Amino acid sequence: MNSLSREQISSAARIVVKVGSSSISGDNSHQIAPLVDALAAAHARGAEVVLVSSGAIATGMPYLRLSDRPTDLATQQAAASVGQSLLISQYQNSLDRYDIVAGQVLLTAGDLENPTPRSNARRAMDRLLDLRILPIVNENDTVATHEIRFGDNDRLAALVAALVGADLLLLLSDVDALYTRPPDLPGAERVSYVASGDSLPGMEFGSTSVNGVGTGGASTKVSAARLAAAAGTGVLVTATTLAAEALRGGGVGTWFEPAAAPFARVW
């Protein structure tokens, strides 16, 4: 895998896109269709596309009559069990417009930490992509425990990017880019480029946030971006609403330069 430059984003051959719960569930469920439009456009030009999508718990919550994200593991597992199939159905209904078939891939942290299941996952993903299937990956929340979880799907996406040897990882959220401090605070400045190995001194991310439906924040995206970039994958962090422009190579978001000599191991 040759390191991708920002100017080459529109020609990336293998792409992993991660979207969070808050971007595609509840009042924002209408964003699934334009996200699929962006993925389909990349697929149509020949790119191999993997989607890492949060949202199973958030999608299942209304069916369990829950207004807030559950905090106990058993209810999270129940909500994920109900929501995962509904989430995949929503994506497939939208992908049908482009005659693209989705394949569901559910992973746990243990699957990627252990050589045999990791090899099995890589083989399955490679075959799905060879068949022009669009894998949709999520953490297997129904069987995961607090002790063996990715923590957030940003990290899962970075590990999946390393697993499949992706050229590009696109991390999507509700914010258009990374900022030197939370963007609602005075003095926040947009960061457009992060060089390989840059420790981002002086940046204030705040604590990891947990909103009504999802987990994560700027700090988790930075950690995931560094992990993927160290493995040789270029990373772009931007808003879900800018996914199409991002995949076309538009000057949006924050670009993390991939390492010229990537680490052999990220596990």
Which positions make up the binding site for ATP?
A: 18, 173-174
Residue whose entry in the numeric block shows the structure tokens 């699957």: 111
Burial of 246 (0-12, 13-18, 19+ CB in 10 A): buried
Binding-site entries? 18, 54, 141, 153, 173-174
For the purposes of burial, counting CB atoms within 10 Å of the CB of 134, is it exposed (0-12), middle (13-18) or buried (19 or more)? buried
Residue positions forming the annotated binding site for substrate: 54, 141, 153
The kind and range of the H/E element at 178 are strand 178-179
142 φ/ψ sector (left φ>0, alpha ψ -120 to 50, else beta):
alpha
Contact 200, 218 (CB under 8 A): no
